[in-house]
Structure 1
């Protein structure tokens, strides 16, 4: 039995949007409808030293100090580091095993923020990007599903770059009509094969690894939500876009601060948004994928 009333996990959280998500969770939890006592937030990252440094940074954060948000200052929230590499199956299992043992009554949410954006475009970049942003993220979702409380939530940080407006009509319709993860995976497999053959444009795809991976994640999230709902579970599974955020990933060109980018993922994790599942959100509003 956990000593915490609520437990959440944020992946890829040692910097940028992920770090801001952890900060905003601690700040907003006291007024959240989920607030019913002590709150533990797992800040996860691949690198142990960077992850632990991020926790220390938050423990001294001026906003959190002023709000008395953290347990050390008399607040409700506590932040702990746990190593996690979404692309490493052993790492995913290690975290899942820890959560199961430490919180046998279940956890409340997972925000899958970990992801990559690589420069350039070739078959290897496509393979690496899809592996992290699509395959590994959805695999992690499955690993965490059984650990979630019946009212739990999964939030996958995707992007409006996963828009379908620039792909062919045929590819667009395949994505929109996809019902299962296997349906989505088959599209991404075709994309990867087309890139390897040097004819992705001819086959109706974009020459863009990140954008295609995020289209896959939006579609995969919808499919996972449908599967979870059909099994009678109350777990809510949604994806969102944080916006164009000024981080290392955007090379400092973003127009939003990390805290602004954190708003929608945090809202989907601890606020009341009507209990929808399988939806895509930006700026705390539901958007139709076909209209992105």
Structure 2
């Protein structure tokens, strides 16, 4: 059950796949959900569906790699809604599936880090100060077990996997900035191998199944975990 005062949830890349499933789950819990996509029409379509299903949602156009656009968007959201209580950094890309590092196009590395690392950090920078003012917030970074250093035993996919390793580090380090008395939790969630545009049709999990851990973390009660990585609601090694 959500605290009555804290009801605004922002999910990036929520026009499809895992992001849409996370947004759907939050709307079902009674949160006002802010849907973002590079396509305004797609974001609005999801928001309309959630509203028709009895929820409350709004769609926004957002390219998370455009720093000026993110700055403007964040100010717009805070002006319009006053707060963001839940931030789910879901938007992500994988351009180099199983490409060996020695053959990696460095432009893939730059673009992957822009979406998977710099964008989540930038959004946290925009909304964490307001969360600290109200002493409440939940931030979930959608990561991957492929970024776990402990289980990294196969070569390949250097850009994507190292970007998730970096995102995990951002998660842990930002969580250390939370002070006593602040009911703020910053965690990372591994969705598993999910049937999405990124995961492909052979993946065993549905988007709803992939969204479960992120939803669980986003709606944790006070004194929940902070600075941890989870898969299937269980701790996963960094």
Q: Same fold (TM over 0.5)?
A: yes
Distance in 2 between residues matched to 1:167 and 1:5, nearest whole Å: 38
Structure 1 residue 56: Cα displacement: 3.0
| Residue 262 of structure 1 pairs with residue 211 of structure 2 | yes
Structure 1 residue 251: Cα displacement: 2.0
Map 1:46-61; keep pairs closer than 5 Å: 46-60=38-52
Task: Name the CA shift for 1:95/1:166 in 2 (closer, same or farther; >3 Å).
Answer: same
Map 1:1-292; keep pairs closer than 5 Å: 6-27=7-28, 29=29, 39-60=31-52, 64=53, 70=54, 77-104=55-82, 106-119=83-96, 120=99, 121-148=104-131, 149-165=134-150, 208-229=158-179, 233-272=182-221, 274-289=223-238
Distance in 2 between residues matched to 1:245 and 1:83, nearest whole Å: 25
Distance in 2 between residues matched to 1:90 and 1:4, nearest whole Å: 30
Structure 1 or 2, whichever has the larger Rg, is 1
Distance in 2 between residues matched to 1:273 and 1:164, nearest whole Å: 29
CA contact (8 A) 2:9 2:26 kept: no
CA contact (8 A) 1:267 1:284 kept: yes
Distance in 2 between residues matched to 1:207 and 1:288, nearest whole Å: 19
CA contact (8 A) 1:4 1:40 kept: no
Distance in 2 between residues matched to 1:207 and 1:43, nearest whole Å: 29
* CA-to-aligned-CA distance 1:103-122 (integer Å, 9 cap, x gap): 33x32110000111114532
**Count of residues in correspondence between the two structures:** 227
Consecutive unaligned residues in structure 1, runs of 5 or more = 31-38, 65-69, 71-76, 169-200
Q: Secondary structure of the equivalent of 1:281?
A: strand
CA RMSD after TM alignment:
2.4
Greater mean deviation of Cα atoms: 273-282 or 245-254 = 273-282
Distance in 2 between residues matched to 1:84 and 1:260, nearest whole Å: 26
Task: Name the CA shift for 1:206/1:224 in 2 (closer, same or farther; >3 Å).
Answer: farther
Consecutive unaligned residues in structure 2, runs of 5 or more = none
CA contact (8 A) 1:242 1:264 kept: yes
